[in-house]
Amino acid sequence: MTSTSTTPAIPATSREWHLVRRPKGWPVPEDFALREVPVPELGEGQVLVRNLFMTVDPYMRGRMDERESYIPPFQLDQPMDGGAVGRVVASRAEGVAVGDHLLHGLGWREYAVVDAAHAAKVDPEAAPLSAYLGVLGMPGLTAYAGLLDVASFKEGDSVFVSGAAGAVGSIVGQIAKLKGASRVIGSAGSDEKVRVLLEDYGFDAAFNYKNGPVGEQLKKAAPEGIDVYFDNVGGDHLEAALDALKLHGRVTICGMISQYNATERPSGPGNLVQVLAKRLRVQGMIVSDHDALRPQFVKEVGGWIRSGELVVRETVYEGVDRAVDAFLGLLRGENTGKMIVKLAD
What's the pLDDT tens digit per position in 193-244? 999 999 999 999 999 999 999 999 999 999 999 999 999 999 999 999 999 9
pLDDT, average across residues 117-141: 94
Long-range interactions of 304-312: CB distance < 8 A, separation 24+: 304/174, 304/178, 305/127, 305/131, 305/135, 305/136, 309/174, 309/178, 310/135, 310/171, 310/174, 310/175, 310/178, 311/170, 311/174, 311/200, 311/201, 311/202, 312/131, 312/134, 312/135, 312/337, 312/338
Q: Is residue 308 predicted with pLDDT exceeding 60?
A: yes
- At 1 the pLDDT is 46
pLDDT, average across residues 283-289: 95
The overall average pLDDT reported for the chain is 94
Q: Contact, 193 vs 165, CB < 8 A? A: yes
- At 68 the pLDDT is 83
Burial (CB count <10 Å: 0-12, 13-18, 19+), residue 182: middle
What's the pLDDT tens digit per position in 149-207? 999 999 999 999 999 999 999 999 999 999 999 999 999 999 999 999 999 999 999 99
Q: Is residue 317 predicted with pLDDT exceeding 50?
A: yes
What's the pLDDT tens digit per position in 70-84? 889 999 999 999 999
Tell me the CA distances in angstroms from 324 to 61, 140, 254, one per residue in order.
Answer: 12, 23, 23
C-alpha span between 82 and 304 (Å, rounded): 26
- At 261 the pLDDT is 83
> Who has greater pLDDT, 43 or 1?
43
* Strand 101-104 relative to strand 120-121, pairing: antiparallel
Portion of the chain with pLDDT greater than 70, in percent? 98
Q: Contact, 131 vs 137, CB < 8 A? A: yes
- At 6 the pLDDT is 46
pLDDT, average across residues 58-77: 92
pLDDT, average across residues 33-58: 97
Which amino acid, residue 87?
Answer: R
- At 8 the pLDDT is 63
- Coil, strand, or helix at residue 117? helix
